[in-house]
């Protein structure tokens, strides 16, 4: 069975399951209506034939049946929603395989940063990006964790190897990863936990009087009992009840803002609780994952229990939206005061741990996103990260974002030197540079890469590929590129291991100045110890291979002219290119250039 068939079969299973739940839900709805009508009719008949006692008896007979049907209906509706969410997840996986993932709504657009050393040029974030393809994060903190792994991963090789081990286990545990994503999908929109974390960490400064006030209903109740037994005048408990009513009204305006803040999280708490519970209940073999999960266990109770307690408090606060019940309980029991005291107790027990809880969810979502690659491309390999030396050596490297049946793969081997990549237009130079760069991003993040073999050292990645002018800032395309190149040169002067990827350097100026400037830049980069790839149409730069003071090698792409047409095989070859196709392409689109 192919990996695609796995998701097709899972999709068919959850589609049939959702339909089955829908059918059962329809029947339960009908039974619930029948039970209600039968109970109402039976109570009315009993009332007119046997009086109120008979009516009450019939009602008590049908009420448990009606409540049971309501509970079953609610549970089955939730099961149907889970089946629907799991079906959506299978469809998204299939979209990743057939290339339609570019329609996914979440593409990490807010992470796009044209000033970043490499993410803008390598399509790490934004439309048709790596983030858009692999992200399964449903929480803001999870998206931020994934962003950090792709844009600024740790340079510590041991940490990368630990993430690799964690991703390997999650890659073999598709069910867990999809269940975690499923819980997040059940919420309305992206889950933002920051406001909940901020609330949990804020001290709740309550007056000691509230602790005293909350016992007032006990004395009021005792007063009514004593009055009923003839040991106290009725006006005493009535006075206490009046005081409670006054306290309820006055306290409403002081306590409600605090309770309102908690209720804002009401719909998210169950989702968070279930995400915590899912992670807590999973047994991991990998030490990295086990340590992460242990952060949810707690000394007294796990995170899911702490979130369940807050959920119960939120449910109690929800009584405000049932005015009659709320008004009665608010006065008789001083309901709001009990709620706020429960919140204080919850904060004291859990407030200092909530941020860590959500960071753990974020870490799991980020690692699950990295494991998506293993789920859809199990044949990709994990890279070997070398501690010493400086280079990238790989076989059959492909662009991770291309459909694999259309992806042409090439080898790369650069050790202490750089490569000048020449070739005609559309031959594959830019795609090759991006393939190398994006696979390095995957390697350092801790997941598998699009290659048969891949070995690299730790390198800072710097690129200059997509250059745009800034009309409002008064910056031309050429000056924008100069600024980018200067950033690369400045970093190379620090002596840190780095790889640069430069696409058609100084394209915004005349050929004489471009070639002179490019030679100067490449010589300095080489003398500073940097390695990299530079694509160019200026064959004069290929002469740097003969310069003994610098370290460059030439490689190129070719085109073939077959039966009056042009074809590309996108195969990288050693040496410099000797052909060009600009005139042919111009003639092809109707711009007739004389020979």
Q: How many domains does the chain have?
A: 3
Block residue for tokens 């400064």: 205
Q: Tell me what pLDDT residue 430 has.
A: 92
Q: Are residues 52 and 150 in the same domain?
A: no
The CATH number linked to 421 is: 3.40.50.300
Asked if pLDDT for residue 39 goes beyond 70, the answer is yes
Tens of pLDDT along 208-236?
A: 556 666 666 666 666 667 777 667 767 66
Q: Tell me what pLDDT residue 578 has.
A: 72
Query: Length of the chain, please?
Result: 595
Q: Tell me what pLDDT residue 215 has.
A: 67
| Last residue within a domain, chosen from 64, 98, 132 | 98
| Across 181-202, average pLDDT | 87
Block residue for tokens 């107790």: 345
Q: Are residues 390 and 369 in the same domain?
A: no
Q: Are residues 258 and 189 in the same domain?
A: yes
Asked if pLDDT for residue 588 goes beyond 60, the answer is no
Q: Is residue 336 part of a domain?
A: yes
Q: Tell me what pLDDT residue 163 has.
A: 96
168-193 residues labelled b (16+ CB within 10 A) or e (exposed): bbbbebbebbbbbbbbbbbbeeebeb
| Across 474-495, average pLDDT | 88
Residues 6+ apart with CB under 8 A from 542: 420, 422, 554, 576
Tens of pLDDT along 402-419?
A: 988 889 999 999 988 999
With bands split at pLDDT 50, 70 and 90, how would you rate the model's confidence at 587?
low
Q: Is 230 left (phi over 0), alpha (psi -120 to 50) or beta?
A: left
| Across 56-61, average pLDDT | 74
| Across 452-468, average pLDDT | 93
Checking DSSP bridges between strand 552-556 and strand 559-562, what pairing results, if any? unpaired
Range of 184-193, 368-377, 401-410 with top mean pLDDT: 368-377
Q: Is residue 184 part of a domain?
A: yes
Q: Is residue 230 part of a domain?
A: no
Q: Compute the distance between CA of residue 353 and CA of residue 297 in angstroms, rounded to an integer.
A: 11
Cβ atoms 92, 185 nearer than 8 A: no
Q: Tell me what pLDDT residue 67 has.
A: 80
Q: Are residues 484 and 540 in the same domain?
A: yes
Q: Is residue 502 part of a domain?
A: yes
With bands split at pLDDT 50, 70 and 90, how would you rate the model's confidence at 332?
low
Q: Compute the distance between CA of residue 145 and CA of residue 162 in angstroms, rounded to an integer.
A: 16
Q: Are residues 128 and 18 in the same domain?
A: no
With bands split at pLDDT 50, 70 and 90, how would you rate the model's confidence at 103?
very high
Q: Tell me what pLDDT residue 248 has.
A: 66
Q: Is residue 390 part of a domain?
A: yes
Q: Is residue 571 part of a domain?
A: yes
| Across 85-113, average pLDDT | 95
Using DSSP's 3-state secondary structure scheme, residue 562 falls into: strand
Residue 538 structure tokens: 């200026």
Q: Are residues 13 and 137 in the same domain?
A: no
Q: Compute the distance between CA of residue 339 and CA of residue 368 in angstroms, rounded to an integer.
A: 37
Q: Compute the distance between CA of residue 190 and CA of residue 187 in angstroms, rounded to an integer.
A: 8
| Last residue within a domain, chosen from 376, 410, 433 | 376
Tens of pLDDT along 1-33?
A: 678 899 999 999 999 999 999 999 899 888 888
What is the phi/psi pair of residue 484, to 5°?
Answer: -65, -45
pLDDT mean across residues, the chain? 86
Checking DSSP bridges between strand 559-562 and strand 498-503, what pairing results, if any? unpaired
Q: Are residues 476 and 372 in the same domain?
A: no
| Across 353-363, average pLDDT | 95
The CATH number linked to 123 is: 1.10.1420
| Across 434-451, average pLDDT | 97
Tens of pLDDT along 549-577?
A: 889 999 999 877 776 667 888 899 899 87
Q: Tell me what pLDDT residue 211 has.
A: 61
Asked if pLDDT for residue 207 goes beyond 80, the answer is no
449 secondary structure, DSSP code: B
| Across 182-191, average pLDDT | 87
Q: Tell me what pLDDT residue 271 has.
A: 92
| Last residue within a domain, chosen from 98, 132, 153 | 98
Q: Are residues 271 and 314 in the same domain?
A: yes
Q: Is residue 168 part of a domain?
A: yes
Q: Tell me what pLDDT residue 333 has.
A: 64
Which position has the higher pLDDT, 390 or 247?
390
Q: Are residues 181 and 76 in the same domain?
A: no
Q: Is residue 246 part of a domain?
A: no
Q: Are residues 343 and 440 in the same domain?
A: no
Q: Tell me what pLDDT residue 213 has.
A: 66
Q: Are residues 456 and 337 in the same domain?
A: no
Residue-range definition of the domain harbouring residue 390: 384-588
Angle at which helix 174-185 crosses helix 266-281, to 10 degrees, equals 170
Q: Are residues 501 and 480 in the same domain?
A: yes
Asked if pLDDT for residue 55 goes beyond 80, the answer is no
């Amino acid at each position: 069975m192919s990996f695609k068939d796995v998701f097709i079969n899972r999709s068919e299973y959850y589609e049939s399951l959702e339909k089955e739940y829908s059918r059962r839900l329809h029947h339960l709805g009908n039974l619930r209506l029948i039970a209600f009508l039968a109970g109402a009719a039976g109570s009315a008949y009993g009332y007119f034939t046997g009086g109120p006692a008979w009516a009450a008896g019939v009602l008590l007979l049908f009420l448990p049946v009606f409540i049971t049907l309501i509970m079953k209906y609610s549970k089955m509706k939730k099961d149907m929603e889970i089946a629907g969410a799991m079906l959506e997840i299978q469809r998204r996986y299939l979209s990743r395989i057939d290339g339609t993932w570019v329609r996914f709504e979440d593409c990490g657009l807010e992470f796009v940063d044209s000033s970043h050393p490499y993410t803008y040029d390598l399509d790490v974030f934004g439309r048709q990006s790596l983030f858009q393809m692999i992200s399964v994060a449903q929480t803001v903190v999870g998206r931020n964790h994934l962003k950090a792994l792709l844009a600024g991963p740790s340079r510590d090789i041991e940490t990368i190897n630990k993430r690799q081990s964690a991703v390997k286990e999650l890659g073999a545990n598709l069910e867990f990863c999809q269940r975690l994503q499923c819980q997040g999908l059940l919420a309305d929109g992206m889950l933002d936990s920051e406001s909940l974390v901020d609330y949990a960490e804020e001290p709740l400064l309550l007056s000691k009087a509230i602790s005293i006030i909350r016992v007032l209903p006990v004395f009021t109740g005792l007063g009514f009992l004593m009055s009923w037994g003839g040991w106290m005048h009725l006006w005493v408990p009535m006075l206490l009840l009046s005081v409670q009513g006054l306290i309820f009204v006055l306290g409403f305006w002081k306590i409600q803002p605090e309770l309102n803040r908690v209720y804002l999280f009401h719909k998210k708490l169950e989702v968070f609780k279930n995400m915590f519970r899912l992670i807590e209940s999973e047994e991991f073999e990998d030490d990295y994952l086990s340590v992460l999960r242990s952060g949810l266990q707690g000394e007294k109770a796990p995170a899911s229990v702490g979130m369940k307690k807050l959920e119960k408090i939120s449910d109690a606060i929800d009584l405000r939206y049932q005015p009659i019940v709320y008004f009665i309980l608010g006065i008789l029991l001083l309901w709001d005061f009990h709620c706020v005291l429960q919140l204080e107790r919850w904060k004291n027990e859990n407030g200092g741990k909530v941020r860590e809880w959500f960071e753990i969810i974020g870490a799991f979502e980020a690692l699950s996103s990295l494991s998506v690659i293993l789920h859809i491309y199990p044949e990709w390999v994990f890279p070997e990260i070398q501690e010493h030396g400086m280079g990238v050596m790989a076989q059959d490297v492909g662009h991770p974002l291309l459909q694999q049946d259309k992806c042409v793969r090439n080898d790369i081997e650069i050790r202490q030197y750089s490569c000048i990549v020449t070739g005609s237009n559309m031959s594959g130079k830019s795609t090759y540079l991006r393939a190398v760069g994006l696979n390095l991003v995957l390697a350092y993040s801790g997941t598998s890469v699009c290659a048969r073999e891949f070995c690299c050292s730790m390198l800072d990645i710097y690129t200059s590929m997509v250059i745009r002018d800034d009309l409002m800032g008064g910056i031309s395309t050429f000056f924008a590129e100069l600024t980018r190149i200067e950033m690369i040169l400045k970093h190379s002067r620090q002596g840190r291991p780095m790889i640069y990827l430069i696409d058609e350097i100084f394209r915004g100026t005349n050929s004489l100045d471009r070639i002179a400037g490019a030679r100067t830049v490449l010589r300095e980069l080489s003398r500073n110890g940097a390695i990299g790839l530079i694509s160019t149409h200026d064959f004069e730069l290929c002469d740097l291979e003969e310069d003994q003071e610098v370290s460059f090698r030439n490689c190129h792409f070719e085109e073939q002219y077959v039966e009056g047409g042009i074809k590309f095989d996108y195969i990288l070859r050693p040496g410099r290119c000797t052909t060009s196709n600009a005139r042919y392409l111009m003639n092809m689109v109707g711009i007739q250039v004389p020979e």
